[in-house]
Amino acid sequence: MTVRANQLTALTEAITLVAPLHDPADVVLHHFFRRHPELGRRDRSFVADGVFAFLRRRRSLVRQAESEEPRRLALAVTLRELGHSLRDMEPLLSPEEVTWARAFKGRNPELSPAEAAELPDWLWERLTLAYSESDRDALARSWLSPAALDIRINPLKAKRDDVRASLAADGLMADRTEYSPVGLRIEGRPMLQRLPLFTEGSIEVQDEGSQILCYLLAPKRTDMVVDFCAGAGGKTLLLGAMMRSQGRLYAFDISLSRLTKLKPRLARSGLSNVHPVRITDERDVHVKRLAGKIDRVLVDAPCSGFGTLRRNPDLKWRHQPSDIDELAAKQARILASAATLVKPGGRIVYATCSVLTEENDAVVDGFLATHAGFEPVDAAAELARAGIPLDTRDRLRLLPHIHGCDGFFAAVLKRTG
């Protein structure tokens, strides 16, 4: 498909806005498209693909382009990542740009290992310490491709095979997820929000790894459960369905805007056991009132999000090493506070969508060292009880290059006294 002049102009402007990394790339693009309603569907697709290709491969693109000027980066992305030919683009370019583009295509700069992996040096170094060479390299490669589109069925309203058949009738192909018993992986990038299945609450968009976390919590119908960092409620809704809309499920979050996004999803779901609660921090009065009364607590802690780099490649450029230290300290505080909710015999699941030891094992090990009343529960055994054929040993470790979903970590801890 031939590139149009307005597409290159729009991509240049979008890269100009995204490159400073002041805000998440998807948020910047959302506002950009709202300001440019004249851009058609193909134009928006071109710009979005170009921006995310730039973010995934920023280091090598800048080296080969020998420039960080947005127009040249837009041309570099279009030529190298989006696969358009210079011959087709020449009528859109100035003579100077044509000369530059020919030189760009002829350059093959020698890259450091971190540059070749399209990662900042500090993150490459931490992966080198945490993983074998083969896993480190495979993980880095996996982040250079977009993530698949996963959905979750609402077991209160639909069966997986029925949803799959309904999607097929609409021309959408879907396969069962390999591990999650309620997941489907969709081919392509269809507009699911327009389907009756979505509007009636039979399906939700949710990565398979996120679905699996809920099965580690294993809530019973009569339990009192807290989703401590509920966000927009993807896991909350699955937990509520697993409880068959019985018991009591609190969705805690410090962000009112995130809880506001939960409301329409909750209305579609048909659940009546979910109670959204805005808290000011991990020491909020609502936390104190429920101390020692909760059967199950999920802590999907705020984290670097590096397990989601296929979806959010800007995160690898937006975070600095000091951010990880600050996050780890915050995660430790949140876990300690959330643990006060758990009654004897109850359990807490600590989880992140990070792949860094500092945010995962180090936080859990530090908690266990200072909280004698908790003991670890084997995650693989819990998943086996749920019929999920996934063994990552005592703690859940999901990696995109191995499991095909986002990167997740989780540890199950039981209160013994």
Q: What percent of the chain has pLDDT over 70?
A: 100
> What pLDDT, in 10s, does the model give residues 103-162?
999 999 999 999 999 999 999 999 999 999 999 999 999 999 999 999 999 999 999 999
Q: How many CA atoms lie within 13 A of 301 on its CB side?
A: 32
Using one digit for the tens of pLDDT, what is the confidence trace for 175-196?
999 999 999 999 998 989 999 9
353 is catalytic: yes
Rounded-to-integer distance, Cα 80 and Cα 413, Å: 48
Q: Which domains does the chain have, with CATH numbers?
A: 5-111 (no CATH), 208-415 (3.40.50.150)
In this prediction, residue 417 carries a pLDDT of 79
Tell me what pLDDT residue 2 has: 85
Instruction: Tell me which of 214, 229, 303, 353 is the catalytic residue.
Output: 353
* pLDDT tens by residue, 21-50: 999 999 999 999 999 999 999 999 999 999
User: Is the model's pLDDT at 313 over the cut of 80?
Assistant: yes
Predicted confidence (pLDDT) at residue 1 exceeds the cutoff of 90: no
Look at residue 199 and tell me whether its pLDDT is greater than 80. Answer: yes
What is the reported pTM?
Answer: 0.95
Helices (H), 148-293: 160-169, 196-199, 208-217, 234-242, 256-269, 285-289
Residue 273's pLDDT is 97
* pLDDT higher than threshold 80 for residue 9: yes
Q: How far are the Cα atoms of 25, 219, 393 from residue 355, in angstroms, in the given order? A: 21, 26, 16
One-letter amino acid of 110: E
Averaged pLDDT of the chain: 96
Output the pLDDT for position 59.
97
Q: Are 194 and 403 in contact (CB under 8 A)?
A: no
Confidence of residue 388 (pLDDT cuts 50, 70, 90): very high
